[in-house]
Amino acid sequence: MDYIKIRFGDDFDHCKLKSEKSIDDMFQSLNPMFRLEKSTWKPHVDIYETEEDIVIQVSMAGVAKEDMEIEISNKAIKISGKRSGNIPREKATYRLAEIQYGAFERVLFLPCPIDTNRVTASYTNGFLHMDLAKLPVEPDSDAI
């Protein structure tokens, strides 16, 4: 059975991510071809929650399991990897080129803390599906 690489950590450098994003946005607005970040595309993501879980679905058609990596803290998740492109035939002329290739990275901040010991992930038909169990909410001892 092939497994998806998942690394667990304490947290991501939230301030660093925000500053890198704002600098990239500034240069991107000046010239779309000038990008500081290594990502060339961002897979589409759906996030929803139930009473017990946060569910994340990521559309990553054409990405092999061995080319993706997931890092999880109890507050955020980072999904990164690469999608290799098809090499066109010699003397081919593109008439339409919408599929993006290369490296990608998505950092998603979760709406509530999760139990990193109760995470499941599967990858089927180009969709990464993750179930992240929420940590139980401690009752407020001061509330009456």
In this predicted structure, what is the pLDDT of residue 122? 96
Of the candidates 79, 85, 77, which has an alpha carbon nearest to the alpha carbon of residue 105?
79
Q: Is the pTM of this model over 0.75?
A: no
Question: Bridge-partner residues for 83, per DSSP?
Answer: 102
Domain ranges of the chain: 6-11+40-84+100-134
**Alpha-carbon span 133 to 114, nearest angstrom:** 6
For the 6-11+40-84+100-134 domain, the top CATH level (class) is mainly beta
Q: List, for residues 127-140, the tens digit of each pLDDT value.
A: 999 999 999 877 76
Q: List, for residues 75-93, the tens digit of each pLDDT value.
A: 899 999 999 987 777 888 8
